[in-house]
Amino acid sequence: MVNNRGFLGLLPLIATVELTLANYYARRVVFIKASLWINTVIWMIYSYLIFDFAAGIMQTVISVLGLISLLQCIRNNG
């Protein structure tokens, strides 16, 4: 009843739940970085689907930088 956009309307809920659970359960830095990257990608997709291109572009930049940081963390921690 509160969602008239189907799956699109669920993306913010999915992103919020994912970040909440990751913040509660993640103990290693690599898992926290991966969670933040996943969350950013979800918000990026949502932004483009609702035609919010300014936020989508910023989320894209943040996602790329987050992925680089995640890969460096994985490489350094073996």
**pLDDT per position as a tens digit, 7-61:** 788 888 889 999 999 989 988 889 999 999 999 999 999 999 899 999 999 999 9
Listed by start position, the domains of the chain span 10-77
pTM: 0.85
pLDDT for position 78? 62
Whole-number Cα distances in Å, 15 to 19, 75, 78: 6, 26, 28
Neighbours of 40 (CB within 10 A): 22
